[in-house]
């Protein structure tokens, strides 16, 4: 069985999936803490994005970066900075044969995550 990494972004302000969120997936070197970009993706209409499948998931540290600042742009006055812009989530993969699902619940002022199923 090959493991996989998926994500799902939910907009808690509007009560719906967050479509068209840009996501970057980075591998983190545990010794140097240097990052290597593995994949870029955009959430679909259901707020989902498959990230790694087909045996590409490896043991190690990863970081997902979600670009939510522009998604919530209407909540801010023009030319002001959003409270949240790029949301990073760093996590470890211990079992590359497992399914790692990283949901992100967002609002213009907060976010939360957990290991989903």
Mean pLDDT value of segment 52-70: 93
Nearest C-alpha neighbor of 38 from the set 22, 54, 56, 20: 56
For residue 47, the model assigns a pLDDT of 98
What mean pLDDT comes out for the span 53-62?
Answer: 91
CATH number at residue 73: 2.60.40.180
Q: How many CB atoms lie within 10 A of CB 86?
A: 12
Note the pLDDT of residue 73.
87
Range of the domain at 97: 4-113
What's the structural domain count of the chain?
Answer: 1
- Residue 23 confidence (pLDDT) above 70: yes
Share of the chain above pLDDT 70, in %: 99
Give the tens place of pLDDT for each residue, 94-116: 999 999 999 999 999 999 999 99
């Amino acid at each position: 069985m090959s493991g996989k990494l998926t994500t799902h972004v939910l907009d808690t302000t509007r009560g719906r999936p967050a479509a068209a969120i840009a996501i970057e997936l980075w591998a983190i070197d545990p010794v140097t803490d240097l990052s290597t970009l593995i994949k870029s993706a955009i959430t679909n209409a259901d707020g989902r994005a498959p990230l790694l499948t087909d045996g590409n998931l490896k043991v190690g540290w990863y970081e997902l970066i979600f670009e939510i600042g522009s998604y919530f742009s209407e909540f801010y006055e023009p030319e002001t900075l959003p409270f949240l812009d790029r949301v990073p989530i760093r996590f470890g993969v211990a079992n590359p044969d497992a399914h790692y699902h990283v949901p992100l619940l967002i609002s213009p002022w907060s976010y939360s995550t957990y290991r989903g199923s």
